[in-house]
Amino acid sequence: MDGEGLGKSNRVLAIYTKLMNGQLVKKAEEAERFGVNAKSIQRDLEGIRAFLAEQSAQEGFHNELVYDHYDKGYRLEQGSSARLTNDEILAVCKILLDSRAFTRQEMMGILDKLLVNCVPKKNQKLIADLIANERFHYIEPRHKRVFLDKIMQLGEAIRECRVIQIQYTKLKDKSTVERRLEPLAIMFSEYYFYLVGFIEGIDKEKAFENADDPFPTIYRIDRIESLKVTGERFKIPYADRFEEGEFRKRVQFMYGGKLRKVKFEYTGESIEAVLDRLPTAKILSEEDGKCVVQAEVFGKGIDMWLRSQGERVRVVE
């Protein structure tokens, strides 16, 4: 491509875009690409460096153009405030790996992007080495389904209050049903992403144990076989607006159902673990190593958790 035909300003923008995308810029390669000499590219880089310095002074965004002697090229190094620290990125990677939320290919891609885009180059090998063993032994979810594209579609439908149509495979009998939903929120819990929404046009007497249940239904997103976002919008009065954070506190086990209060005695070693597991839990009394705890939860999932605690828990009511 002819450098004069492209124009200096467009050439500088092209080089700047390349740097912003995390790519290495080599003078000889850029000179050949634009049909100019290396001195012209050097002047372009100096102009970019001056622009970054001015931007840092005025806006507080500290990005620096540096020469990488190992790779023999220029790259953009973002200021420390724009990067995750070694501690932060290691913690995020560990949480992601432990979530087992994605297929192996998806998980490895996400980890690679985090390392490249959020960690200074000099620290990338250190973090990569610290998670290498867990990456190697990563076990993907058994459903082996890719669904990230659905999450974005659902997110836009929630933001724009658009009705959606889905085909959904039930967990119990593996049958497929069609639903029209008013989507309200996307949640994550123990390996799976979930969609929370109200069903439209369904006979609640036949479909649900509690036909008068005023609360939304929960669907595993990986079990959504097809998804269509319609042009139809739904309205939620501000006074009745769904509060995802409050709902999340009470739906720890991703089972729909009535809002319940449970009270139990706990004699285990870590009451903190119980309080973290049940965000609405309150200690009513504590004596001789025995805590009486009350919590507010949705559905029957709490029953399974209480049974799983064995002799450490005795249900009071």
Q: Summarize pLDDT for 151-191 with one digit per residue, the tens.
A: 999 999 999 999 999 999 988 788 898 999 999 888 888 88
Q: Is 172 exposed, middle or buried (0-12, 13-18, 19+ CB in 10 A)?
A: exposed
CA nearest to 255, candidates 291, 213, 297: 297
Residues 6+ apart with CB under 8 A from 36: 3, 4, 11
What per-residue confidence (pLDDT) applies to 19?
A: 86
DSSP bridge pairs for 229: 164
180 in Cβ contact with 163 (< 8 Å): yes
Which H or E element spans position 106?
A: helix 104-118
Distance CA 161, CA 62 (A): 38
Mean local confidence (pLDDT), 130-146: 92
pLDDT value of position 2: 43
For residues 236-252, average pLDDT: 61
Tens digit of each residue's pLDDT (9 = 90 or more) over 246-288: 666 656 666 666 778 889 889 888 888 888 888 888 999 888 8
Q: What is the pLDDT of residues 31-80, one digit of tens each?
A: 998 889 989 999 999 998 888 888 777 765 677 888 888 788 898 876 65
Q: Which residue has the higher pLDDT, 207 or 65?
A: 65
Give the residues across from 294 on adjacent strands: 263, 282
In one-letter notation, the amino acid at residue 128 is: A
- CA–CA separation, 148 and 177 (whole Å): 22
